[in-house]
Chain A
Amino acid sequence: MSNATSQNETVHRVSFLDKDSIRIPILKILQADGTVYENAVLPVIDEALAHRIYDTCVFTRVLDERMLGAQRQGRISFYMTCTGEEASIIGSAASLDNQDVILAQYREHAALRYRGFTTEQFMNQLFSNEKDLGKGRQMPIHYGSAELHYQTISSPLATQIPQATGVGYSLKMQGKRNIAICYFGEGAASEGDFHAGLNMAAVLKSPTIFFCRNNGYAISTPTSEQFVGNGIASRGPGYGMYTIRVDGNDMLAVLAATQQARAYAVENHAPVLIEAMTYRLGAHSSSDDPSGYRSKDEEAKWQQHDPVKRFKLWMINKGWLTEKQDAELFEKYRSEVLAEVKIAEKLPMSHIDTLIEDVYDTPTPRLQQQLDTLKKHLKKYPKSYPKSEGRV
């Protein structure tokens, strides 16, 4: 029998704990000017890793800028950026083993890129063409790749959190030295699934990293209307879980924290909670206009904490990057993205037969019958269904 209360001291007059009883330090390694804090302990990083990280930053910036533009031009229906949160996402993704399983919320395409998702693969999903791995069934940005151990995004928030607990446990049962990592926003952390997922992970000892991007807003709702306790990190110890809070705009801090969290999770078969304090610089999505709920001043203030710029300055200080190389990298990705857009948007959408595939492992007779009826209809009125016209 172990009941934690037996370890606690006894008092004889009423004394409550409040939110200030829980003090959580924030890990910062890299300063705004690209130098590191005195006494800071650096993560494991060499020039090659730094380049791979920075390359992913630049690609992500370019992708986000171009595809938001493409959405505005009506070429794709929807888009979401991760602008401002690149250090949280890439720093954590770069700390993982390639076989670690990623369960993301929707704003973590940079992690997928880090794993090797190609520009063409991004475009195929965004344009819902016949080469989209998800067969054009979900809105743009719902990426997924079994090859890259990145589970396909699902829109209902927080559902991936208890699933990650299950994935982590399965990795343990399969004897692998791997973990699951699960991303979510501070808004999603209000869902019941969050609490269920963390509690189960702690009790069942599932090697899982719960990575919260605390970016200040859930659509229009500021954190002050989301929770009043000490952020999301304060819940970790409540569940008996290793927990750390990091500056989410500091690539080196995120890298250091996630590297050690991963090592701990693998060695101890135990979960870790990371809260990355960052800011959503862009709109919630291409359907949102943040001017209705936050000030330009606030956004401008956060521009000064640009995580990509900070990391770039560090690399320049190290002599690993020049302004010229940086400009070339942006240029390379701008033309690459543009070229792939042109190819992807011309490809047709997947065949009508895929409409009934994957509902079950094989289409049921009833589904087959529904498809046959539909095809007859499409053949009869091809002009009314321009996307499938002539491809029935």
Chain B
Amino acid sequence: MAKINMLQAINDALSMALGTDEKAILFGEDVGHFGGVFRATSGLQEKFGRDRCFNTPLTEQGIAGFANGLASNGMTAIAEIQFADYIFPAIDQIVNETAKFRYRSGNEFNVGGVTFRTPYGGGIAGGHYHSQSPEAYFTQTAGLKVVVPRNAYQAKGLLLASIRDNNPVIFFEPKRLYRANIAEVPEGDYEIELGKAEVVREGKDITLLAWGAQVEIIENAADMATKEGISCEIIDLRTLAPWDAVTVAESVKKTGRLLINHEAPLTGGFAGEIAATIQEECFLYLESPISRVCGLDTPYPLIHEKEYMPDALKTFDAIKASVKF
């Protein structure tokens, strides 16, 4: 066990993935010798050679299509999209190709070996284009798995599981936590099962649900609520597609209340899907309407970022409103 940050944990996972699978190939803009703009791939080209870890030309469309081609012919493709904001040029390859390869060919071909890693999220004064959380665009696409770690420990275990999963995965990394989150991370190889939520903290009055960087926000809000005598159960979804409705429903049946927090805009965000499902599953157990604390329905702003964010204070207010309902 060593205390390392999330970038180091990701680097470690990538190194392990390349080391244990000789068919694994790692690529993207600036990921070669330089080690990526966030340095997640530092030292890997030196270790595994230029054929297995390299810079691509600057084209996300090309990167995604290339990944599909590699994986369709038996390789393990690990592609970095430099910022999640720049995944959109690749959306046709991902949504129409990656996601449907297996289905459309009757499983004659599949691209289960593809993993796209990409830094997402705000709180870094990046304005729109360095702050978006585009996960919901991909959760609507059947055939993709969507995974979001909240700390260094998860980043390593979930990334290894994603790379080795026999389905294409989009792995969103909370860049706000890249250096800020330091955790005990086992040195050896380990995986965290995809599709399973984690109950981070047990409580009895309300269930708070988030993923990635927002888990820390709901934990802070829960601490504030504790001082007012409200006991919060905290769940980290970890995988958004497929998401673990069973764990969430069990919790809500116990607490009677649910609050979902995400950074992406409210309308069409993944919280809407969760709320609708839990309302179906737990209608008779609910003591207040399911509450959503999310980004506003605007592009991600720069100067009003603090005001825009679904922060701990807004979450705390929403917890109180839900409990008092």
Residues of chain A touching chain B, judged by Cβ–Cβ distance below 8 Å, are 77-78, 128, 136-139, 142, 154-157, 187-188, 190-193, 218-221, 225-227, 287-288, 292-293, 349-350, 352, 354-356, 359, 364, 366-367, 370-371, 374, 377-378, 380-381, 384-385, 387-388
Does B299 belong to the interface (CB within 8 Å)?
A: yes
The stretch that binds A, out of B56-64, B238-246, B251-259, is B56-64
| A139: chain B residues within 8 A (beta carbon) | 125-127, 129-130, 302
Is A138 in contact with B127, judged by CB distance below 8 angstroms?
Answer: yes
Interfacial chain A residues near B317, Cβ < 8 Å: 377, 380
Q: How many A-B residue pairs have CB under 8 A?
A: 130
Whole-angstrom distance from the CB of B245 to the nearest CB of chain A? 27
What 1/0 mask marks residues of chain B from 123 to 161 whose CB sits below 8 Å from any chain A CB? 001111110000000000000000000000000000000
Output the nearest chain A residue to B35 by Cβ-Cβ distance: A292
Main secondary structure of the interface of B (DSSP, over half): loop
- Chain B hits for A287, CB < 8 A: 37
21 A-B pairs with CB atoms under 8 Å apart are: A78-B125, A136-B301, A136-B302, A137-B303, A139-B126, A190-B58, A190-B59, A191-B61, A191-B89, A220-B33, A225-B32, A226-B58, A227-B57, A288-B37, A350-B303, A356-B298, A370-B296, A370-B297, A377-B313, A384-B313, A387-B307
The chain B residue sitting closest to A154, CB to CB, is: B129
Distance in angstroms from A362 CB to nearest chain B CB is 14
* Given known A-B contacts A191-B58, A227-B57, A219 and B128 have beta carbons under 8 A apart: no
User: Is B86 engaged at the interface, CB distance under 8 Å to the other chain?
Assistant: yes
Contact A156 B55 (CB under 8 A): no
**Residue of A128, A293, A370 touching B266 (CB-CB under 8 A):** A370
Name the interface residues of B66-85: CB closer than 8 Å to any CB of A: 85
**Set of chain B residues within 8 Å of A370, measured between Cβ atoms:** 266, 296-297
CA distance A374 to B30 in the complex (A): 40
CB-based nearest B residue for A221: B55
Partner of A367, one of B127, B297, B304: B297
Q: Find out whether the CB atom of A218 lies under 8 angstroms from the CB atom of B86.
A: no
> Which residues of chain B come closer than 8 Å to A293, judged between CB atoms?
33-34
**Interface pair B34/A366, CB less than 8 Å apart:** no
Per-residue 0/1 for B259-285: is the Cβ within 8 Å of any A Cβ (1 yes, 0 no)?
000000011000000000000000000
- Given known A-B contacts A193-B89, A377-B314, A136 and B266 have beta carbons under 8 A apart: no
- Please give the distance in Å from A366's CB to the nearest CB on chain B: 6
Q: How far apart are A290's CB and chain B's nearest CB, in angstroms?
A: 10
Contacting residues, chain B, for A388 (C-beta < 8 A): 304, 307
Digitize B8-28: 1 where CB-to-A-CB distance is under 8 Å, 0 elsewhere.
000000000000000000000
- B48 contacts the other chain (CB 8 A): no
- Please give, as numbers and ranges, the residues of chain B lying within 8 Å of A136 by CB-CB distance: 301-304
Chain A residues lying within 8 Å of B88, measured Cβ to Cβ, are 156
Distance of A137 Cα from B33 Cα, bound (Å): 34
Known contacts A156-B88, A219-B30, A355-B307: A366-B267 contact under CB 8 Å: yes
- The secondary-structure label for the interface of chain A is loop
Residues in B neighbouring A350, C-beta threshold 8 A: 303
Query: Is B236 located at the chain interface by the 8 A CB criterion?
Result: no
Distance (whole angstroms) from the CB of B203 to the closest CB of chain A = 24
Which chain A residue has the least Cβ–Cβ distance from B300? A137
Given A137-B301, A138-B302, A387-B303, A155 and B61 contact (CB-CB distance below 8 Å): no
Instruction: Indicate if the CB atoms of A155 and B267 lie closer than 8 Å.
Output: no
The answer to whether B190 has its CB under 8 Å from any CB of chain A is: no
**Cβ-defined partner of B304 (8 Å) among A188, A191, A218, A352:** A352
Which residue in B35, B128, B313 is a CB contact (below 8 Å) of A381?
A: B313
Question: Which B284-317 residues have C-beta < 8 A from chain A?
Answer: 296-299, 301-304, 306-308, 313-314, 317
Residues of B within 8 A of A188 (CB): 58
Taking a contact as CB atoms under 8 Å apart, the answer to whether A192 and B303 are in contact is no
Nearest-CB residue, chain B, relative to A350: B303
* Chain A residues with CB below 8 A from B306, complex form: 385, 387
> Contacts A350-B303, A374-B296; is A156 near B85 (CB within 8 Å)?
yes
Which residues on the B side are within 8 Å of A371 (C-beta)? Answer: 296
A292 contacts across to B, CB distance below 8 A: 34-35
Whose C-beta in chain A lies nearest to the C-beta of B298?
A359
Q: Are B307 and A156 in contact (CB under 8 A)?
A: no
Q: Does B29 contact A (CB under 8 A)?
A: yes
> Closest CB of chain B to A354's CB: distance in Å?
8
Whole-angstrom distance from the CB of A371 to the nearest CB of chain B?
8
Contact indicator A355/B30 (Cβ below 8 Å): no
Interface centre among B57, B88, B299 (most CB of A within 10 A): B57
| Max chain A C-beta neighbours (<10 A), residue from B29, B32, B54, B317 | B29
Q: Which 4 A-B pairs have the closest CB atoms?
A: A220-B34, A155-B129, A136-B303, A190-B57
Given contacts A154-B129, A155-B129, contact A355 B301 (CB under 8 A): yes
Q: Are B314 and A355 in contact (CB under 8 A)?
A: no
> CA separation between A136 and B301, bound complex, in Å?
8
Minimum Cβ distance to chain B for residue A156 (Å): 6
Select from chain B the residue with minimum beta-carbon distance to A225: B55
Q: How far is the CA of A224 from the CA of B44 in the complex (A)?
A: 20
Most chain A CB within a 10 A radius of its CB, from B37, B88, B301, B313: B301
Q: How far is the CA of A367 from the CA of B297 in the complex (A)?
A: 7
B residues in contact with A374, CB < 8 Å: 296, 307
Residues of B within 8 A of A349 (CB): 303-304
Q: Are B127 and A137 in contact (CB under 8 A)?
A: yes
The distance in angstroms between the C-alpha atoms of A381 and B88, with both chains bound, is 37
Q: Nearest Cβ distance between residue A314 and chain B, in whole angstroms?
A: 35
Nearest B residue to A159 via CB reads B89
Residues on A with C-beta less than 8 A from B297 are 359, 364, 366-367, 370
Residue of B nearest to A157 (CB): B58
- Render B36-65 as a binary contact track against A, CB cut-off 8 A, 1 for contact: 010000000000000000110111111000
Taking CB atoms, residues of chain B closer than 8 Å to A142 are 127
Given known contacts A154-B129, A220-B30, A192 and B61 CB-to-CB distance under 8 angstroms: yes
Shortest distance in angstroms between A385's beta carbon and chain B's nearest beta carbon?
6
Given the complex, which residues of A lie within 8 Å of B302, measured CB to CB?
A: 128, 136-139
Q: Is the CB of B307 within 8 A of A191?
A: no
A385 CA to B307 CA in the complex, in Å?
A: 7
Q: Are A77 and B125 in contact (CB under 8 A)?
A: yes
- A290 to B, closest residue via Cβ: B34
B38 (CB) vs chain A CBs: closest residue = A287
